[in-house]
Amino acid sequence: MSTLNQDIEAVAALKQAAGSPWDAINPESAARMRAQNKFKTGLDVAKYTASVMRADMAAFDGDKTKYTQSLGCWHGFIGQQKMISIKKHFGGSTERRYLYLSGWMVAALRSDFGPLPDQSMHEKTAVAGLVEELYTFLRQADARELGGLFRELDAAREAGDSAKEAEVQDKIDNHQTHVVPIIADIDAGFGNEEATYLMAKQMIEAGACCLQIENQVADEKQCGHQDGKVTVPHEDFHAKLRALRYAFLELGVDDGVIVARTDSEGAGLTKEIAVVKEKGDQGDVYNSYLDCEEVAPEDTAEGDVLISRDGKLVRPKRLPSGLYQFRSGTGEERCVFDCIEAINAGADLLWIETATPNVADIAGMMNEVRKVHPDAKLVYNNSPSFNWTLNFRQQAYDAMVAAGEDVSAYDRANLMSAEYDESELSARADDKIRTFQADSSREANIFHHLITLPTYHTAALSTDNLAKEYFGEQGMLGYVAGVQRKEIRQGIACVKHQNMSGSDIGDDHKEYFAGENALKAGGAKNTSNQFS
């Protein structure tokens, strides 16, 4: 992108060519507005962020410590504050830190129907709408931050401080945007492959460079951490993977990223028996996992569905719902098969939804996948559906038993108890939770770690704390001590909520447009000055 001075020169040239009607136009003001609006469309965002994500994927291939992370955000403001916080705490850099858009949170928080379970019942357009909203807020964060730098530049000029002016000018020219890649959940595609393609286009046009899709039946979709999941044969799923790729290519996002999620580890049902064209093909392998019994023709009943296998007739177990059941204990094997075939079909990244966050279990499946695709990379859900404390305390307990250590002080079935919080076992478990992302990236090739709905939980927790104090004995002190005082001392930008909403940006624009006649909001009587 061009520097501010290059844009000033370009606008000055336009002004000179246009003549007197442009006399009142200040080239530097116009250049500043251009700088504050780097990305003109959602497609600009998608193309830029796809290139960022691809570069991060290549870096991870060479160094497993360079994994990426994200938090799920259900509103543009939440995503904006997350990225402002990241820039504040990590040296102004957003490197390897993304956004995640959770279908669960869209269903629970963004549907016109009101709160819904994660079953794809929300409006299709709500997902693309949230992508657009997130990037609107991130672009506003850029404009706000640059506006502050422009004011610093003006102050340095007025003071005749050329060193400070050069320092601020460098920050402007090398400004790092708040706009980062988003991994956006398209659930199971919301219909057939044409419906998937149309929705994918809408999400990409809103700015999504990475789409995550799962191999469940679209109209039977369940949250990955609930029961009742029904998968589809590979050909059905792969048609939707191709629909996503065509959508990216049509819109010119040639390096768009596709995440193929398999729910097979916890899904014991299928709606279809796969089509088999020849022995050992994809459909034949899929059907081989069905729970079947061998039957003779005379043992069949009216309406039975039979499969010919190795010259014998077998009858798949069919439930009253009409669904077919897989053999118990085949989940991990089916996950591995799903992952290999998804990469063969054009997926860039994989997602395996597991029952517990266990590095060894995840690595076991990924090692099998990597025997066929050595560079296969995983996106992993560090899910709030897991009881992380209990899971890792149990893992620590089992490791102590295996090492012959004394565990008589612990009750494995009751390890969630607060009585263990200061114990050696708890310390070991917490240390493993702390290093989980680094350990699993190194051992299981996890490129991206996300938490699907953390800000759902933080909103509930912080609201509970405020309500308890404000409506209780603490009264106004509940807000002042619990929120505002902490905002001031932690340097939370939105303590100046007028500035965060764009008031200062508007004042700057009014001055560009009306000069000394501008009626601005940021004068001496603005109460936000109390936070200066």
The residues carrying an active-site annotation are 223
Cβ contacts of 240 within 8 Å, gap of 6 or more: 188, 189, 193, 196, 213
d(CA 220, CA 121): 10
Question: Would you state the structure tokens that stand for residue 174, as one six-digit string?
Answer: 């090398």
Phi then psi dihedrals of residue 472, to 5 deg: -105, -150
Determine the Cα angle at 522 with ends 518 and 527, to 5°: 150
Q: Is 385 exposed, middle or buried (0-12, 13-18, 19+ CB in 10 A)?
A: middle
| Dihedral in degrees, nearest 10, Cα atoms 298, 304, 307, 309 | -30
Question: Would you state the structure tokens that stand for residue 242, as one six-digit string?
Answer: 């191709």
In this structure, the number of other CB atoms found within 10 A of the CB of residue 308 comes to: 9
Taking a C-beta distance cutoff of 8 angstroms, is the pair 484, 531 a contact? no
| Dihedral in degrees, nearest 10, Cα atoms 517, 520, 523, 525 | 110
Instruction: Quote the strand ranges of 458-522, DSSP E.
Output: none
User: Side chain identity at 14, as an amino acid letter?
Assistant: L
Exposure string of 253-267, with b = 16+ CB inside 10 Å and e = fewer, is beebbbbbbbbbbbb
By C-alpha distance, which of 173, 176, 168, 183 is closest to 90? Answer: 176
d(CA 245, CA 426): 46
Indicate the SS3 state at residue 279. coil
Taking a C-beta distance cutoff of 8 angstroms, is the pair 132, 42 a contact? yes
C-alpha to C-alpha distances, 310 to 216, 262, 314, 325, 344, nearest whole angstrom: 29, 29, 10, 20, 27
By C-alpha distance, which of 383, 386, 388 is closest to 426? Answer: 388
C-alpha to C-alpha distances, 232 to 119, 151, 272, 331, 437, nearest whole angstrom: 16, 57, 7, 14, 30
Taking a C-beta distance cutoff of 8 angstroms, is the pair 258, 211 a contact? yes
